Every structure is written in structure tokens, then in C-alpha cells.
């Protein structure tokens, strides 16, 4: 009888240990490991060593493009500036400020981006990556405002 109890205890220990090993092995680490050099990934100090005789295309050596920032002011019934020009692939950040006396917003329907409808004196910001070359309509989607002239263009070159 003692031998049977001992076998059951050993089997339970093996099953429980196996469960915790399997459960623990599928979890992602809670903190990313840091490089042995002490340099954080993505900093200017990080370097990639290529085998001798290997070259990297020049466009891959270019720094990441800066964010193109604009502030657009909205009044009754216009935007200032009414036209914004960027390059395809640019990271764009537009802060819209309602300088009018009624609610307004700033939309680019073709890109499905836009600010919230905001009260006078408020601001809202949108960020997006400029798409392929073309001219995209910017407008206020409050009923009647676009028809009254509250529109402009985003030119992507």
C-alpha cells in the first residue's frame, strides 16, 4: 500500500511539473533583453557590421524622415493655409485650431483621417503617412461648411 501511494505521489509531481513547464515556456518575456554592449537598440550608437565586400543601397542608409508638422487655422468658412504640400511617404502631423466662433473640424476623406469636431478656441491633431502622389481634398464636414467654402487641398508630390 505504501508503494502505491509513493507511485501516485511521483506521478502527480511529474504531471504538475510538466504543466508548469509547458505553461511557463509559452509566455513572452516581460522585458526585452538589452544588448551586451549596454547600448539601447535604435540609438545612434547602434551599428550593424556587414561582411567585407557587402554594400547597402544608398536609400537604406538615409535617416528616417522627419515628421512634417503643420498648423491649420479654421474660421467661418475657410482654412489657413488652404493648401498643404508634402512628399509621398512623409510622416505628417497636422494640428487644427478652431479660430472661428462656431464648431469646425478638419477632414481628408480619401485618407479616412480627420479631427474631432471642436468648439471655438480648441485644437485637435491628426497624424498619418502621406499616400501616393495626388491632390486630396481637405474640408470641414459640419453640414454646410464645405459648400460655404471651407475646403482646401493636400498635395502629395
Inter-residue contact 102 to 120 (CB < 8 Å): yes
SS3 70: strand
C-alpha cell at 75: 474660421
Q: pLDDT at position 37, please?
A: 45
Give me the residue spans of the domains in the chain: 64-156
Q: pLDDT at position 71, please?
A: 98
pTM, 2 dp: 0.59
Gap between the Cα atoms of 95 and 104, Å rounded: 13
Looking up cell 535617416, which residue turns up? 63
Average pLDDT by consecutive 10-residue portion of the chain (157 residues)?
84 81 57 48 52 56 75 97 96 97 96 96 97 96 97 97
- Architecture of the domain made up of 64-156: Sandwich (2.60)
Gap between the Cα atoms of 12 and 60, Å rounded: 56
Q: pLDDT at position 96, please?
A: 98
Amino acid at each position: 500500500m505504501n508503494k502505491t501511494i509513493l507511485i501516485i505521489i511521483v506521478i502527480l509531481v511529474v504531471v504538475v511539473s510538466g504543466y508548469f513547464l509547458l505553461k511557463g515556456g509559452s509566455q513572452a518575456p516581460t522585458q526585452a533583453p538589452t544588448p551586451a554592449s549596454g547600448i539601447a537598440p535604435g540609438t545612434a550608437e547602434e551599428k550593424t557590421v556587414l561582411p567585407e565586400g557587402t554594400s547597402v543601397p544608398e536609400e537604406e542608409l538615409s535617416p528616417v524622415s522627419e515628421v512634417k508638422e503643420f498648423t491649420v487655422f479654421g474660421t467661418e468658412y475657410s482654412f489657413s493655409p488652404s493648401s498643404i504640400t508634402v512628399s509621398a511617404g512623409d510622416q505628417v502631423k497636422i494640428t487644427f485650431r478652431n479660430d472661428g466662433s462656431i464648431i469646425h473640424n478638419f477632414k481628408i476623406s480619401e485618407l479616412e483621417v480627420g479631427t474631432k469636431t471642436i468648439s471655438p478656441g480648441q485644437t485637435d491633431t491628426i497624424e498619418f503617412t502621406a499616400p501616393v502622389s495626388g491632390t486630396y481634398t481637405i474640408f470641414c464636414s459640419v453640414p454646410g461648411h464645405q459648400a460655404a467654402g471651407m475646403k482646401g487641398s493636400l498635395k502629395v508630390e
